[in-house]
Amino acid sequence: MFVPEDKNVFYSKSIKANNSLFQGDILDAKIIGLKNESDLYSPDNWMVITKSCDLVLDSNSLTIRKKNLSIIPLIALKLIYKMFRRDFIKDISKVNNRILLIAVHKLFSIFLTHNKKDEIEYLIKDRISKFMFLPPDGTILKEPTLIDFDLVIQINGNEQAEVQKVIQAKVLQLNSPFREKVAQRFAMHYSSIGVMDDEIRDKKYVSNLKKSF
């Protein structure tokens, strides 16, 4: 029931035959070596966030001309809820060292103490900068998923074997304009700044300002 009626608006099949990589390619974590059977809290899928123009492959060496490839995790909601078992901290030791979801657990332990329905709406409307909501396609992504912009992994695009693993790991493609929206949100998350504006946000200050008008 979580799959949109027209899922093809969001996703299309991934094509591996032409040895190409694009922003928005969704990858199988096991194939790229970021998940094994003991990883209870590792995402099943990751997404390429690097710009498509920086993913051009050298036709001779099958390496990426810009050398690096960045991917971000797609965290299924069922994985987040699984984190709230009491043995989470014990089990986290079994997770691949490069994938630490303790920060996600801490955030959602606060998140879920509030009204869940309201918070889900905040996610869908992209009001939490750390995350972006993606609906399932029903086949690869079988339930709602969150992109976590704080967990970015670099893959060496200068290693042919690594690049070939990424190509083989492609299982789905996020369509335009949604892939561009992900890139935009990624950039906004890292370019945002915080300022000390408590005084002008104070209710008394706002009240006085309103009176002056």
Beta bridge partner(s), residue 109: none
Cα–Cα distance for residue pair 109/81, rounded to 1 Å: 10
The confidence score (pLDDT) of residue 48 equals 95
Cα–Cα distance for residue pair 153/163, rounded to 1 Å: 14
- Asked if the structure places residue 77 within a domain, the reply is yes
- Asked if the structure places residue 62 within a domain, the reply is no
The confidence score (pLDDT) of residue 173 equals 94
Q: Please tell me which residue, 25 or 39, carries the higher pLDDT value.
A: 25
The confidence score (pLDDT) of residue 85 equals 57
116-153 tens-digit pLDDT: 555 666 666 666 667 888 888 889 998 888 888 888 88
47-103 tens-digit pLDDT: 999 999 899 898 888 889 778 899 998 988 777 766 665 555 566 555 555 455 545
- Asked if the structure places residue 61 within a domain, the reply is no
Task: Give yes or no for a contact between 95 and 73, defined as CB atoms under 8 angstroms apart.
Answer: no
Query: What Rg value do the Cα atoms of the chain yield, rounded?
Result: 20
The confidence score (pLDDT) of residue 70 equals 92
At residue 208, the 3 state secondary structure works out as: helix
* pTM of the predicted model over 0.85: no
Number of domains in the chain: 1
- Asked if the structure places residue 193 within a domain, the reply is no
Residue with tokens 């998350």: 189
- Asked if the structure places residue 192 within a domain, the reply is no
Task: Give yes or no for a contact between 182 and 132, defined as CB atoms under 8 angstroms apart.
Answer: yes
Domain residues for the domain of 71 are 25-52+67-175
- Asked if the structure places residue 150 within a domain, the reply is yes
CA distances from 113 to 101, 116, 150, 198 (A): 19, 8, 22, 25
The whole-number average pLDDT for the span 25-49 is 87
Taking alpha carbons only, the member of 75, 56, 74 closest to residue 66 is 56
166-213 tens-digit pLDDT: 999 999 999 998 888 888 888 887 776 666 667 767 788 778 777 877
What is the amino acid identity at position 197? Answer: D
Q: Which two tokens stand for residue 29?
A: 């974590």
The confidence score (pLDDT) of residue 24 equals 94
Cα–Cα distance for residue pair 11/22, rounded to 1 Å: 13
Beta bridge partner(s), residue 73: 46
- Asked if the structure places residue 20 within a domain, the reply is no
- Asked if the structure places residue 30 within a domain, the reply is yes
Task: Give yes or no for a contact between 121 and 70, defined as CB atoms under 8 angstroms apart.
Answer: no
The confidence score (pLDDT) of residue 131 equals 80
